[in-house]
Amino acid sequence: MCLLLRLRKDSQMMELGKYQTLEVVKKTDFGLYLSEIGTDGKHSVLLPQKEAPDKIQIGDQLKVFLYRDSEDREIATTAQVPVTIGELAVLEVKEVNQIGAFLDWGLLKDLFLPFKEQTRKVEKGDKVLITLYLDKSNRLAATMKVYDLLSTNSPYKKNDLVTGIVYEIIDTFGIFVAVDNQYSGMIPKNEIFSPIKIGDTIQARVINVREDGKLTLSLREKAYIQMDSDAVMIVEKLKAADGFLPYHDKSDPDQIKREFNISKNAFKRAIGRLYKAGTINITEEGIRLV
């Protein structure tokens, strides 16, 4: 996914979108010209004067990032760019116009995110997980389609708590999460009980590590822990409804999910605990505070 810029007919090359070490081959009033170490310097890129280190000499070596400026010229920078080709980063949407979105990545020229590379329509201020690629015009651009770049060798195991960013949602499967912005995780659709959108940062529990290393996640704690918070939530809803709610262990699961944002099994566990504690009565009409 990286463009190789031809320098000569041999194997020498420079790469856009990556850091590399180049040699100073020429000094001018407006900057330094850099080229591959040990080459004849016929193909060189400019490092602007404002980024040139003090007392730099011809023959010295510098680590720089290569990209194209607003005039489409190859240019070098010593800035710390947050993402390179093959890596992932969360960047903020700076602007959206009729051709796509533009992301803030710390350079004078914002990073272009085409509409076709968005997994959902983004808006100014959104934070999105992206990687770099080179388009057909040999320009660096961003894509939100990062599934294949996520690692499957995470250090996490079952019941570990993790943090990640939502990068894609497929209704038939669930919510795809980049754990620590680098590991592949998914929340199955039967584990989703509240609205979540792409770009959200979530905390979840690992409920399974698949054979391929991908993580299956849940937004809920272990059943015996979650039951306490579910019970408290149900009591609060009962108080707000003057002590009665028309739901019980035979209520429709979809109604339970819409009203309480939990599964029917979780609801039954919670009201069972409340009943045993003498907090509620369960009747054919519903549940009532004692």
Q: Where in the chain is the domain with CATH 1.10.10.10?
A: 223-289
More confident: 227 or 286: 286
* Angle in degrees, CA 197, 203, 208, rounded to 5: 100
Which CATH code fits 89-147? 2.40.50.140
Q: pLDDT grade, residue 38 (50/70/90)?
A: confident
With a CB cutoff of 8 Å and minimum separation 6, the contacts of 199 are 122, 126, 127, 128, 129, 165, 166
Q: Please state whether the predicted TM-score (pTM) of the whole model is above 0.85.
A: no
> Taking residues 229-251, what's their average pLDDT?
87
Fold of 150-218: OB fold (Dihydrolipoamide Acetyltransferase, E2P) (2.40.50)
> Taking residues 209-236, what's their average pLDDT?
79
More confident: 105 or 266: 105
Fold of 4-77: OB fold (Dihydrolipoamide Acetyltransferase, E2P) (2.40.50)
The pLDDT of residue 274 is above 60: yes
Q: What is the pLDDT of residue 6?
A: 33
Question: At which residue do the structure tokens 């760019």 appear?
Answer: 81
Read off the tokens for 283. 């009747």
Q: pLDDT grade, residue 3 (50/70/90)?
A: very low
The pLDDT of residue 13 is above 70: no
- Domain formed by 223-289, architecture: Orthogonal Bundle (1.10)
Q: Where in the chain is the domain with CATH 2.40.50.140?
A: 4-77, 89-147, 150-218
pLDDT digits (tens, 9 = 90+) for 136-159: 988 999 999 999 999 999 999 998
- CA separation for the pair 94, 200 (Å, rounded): 17
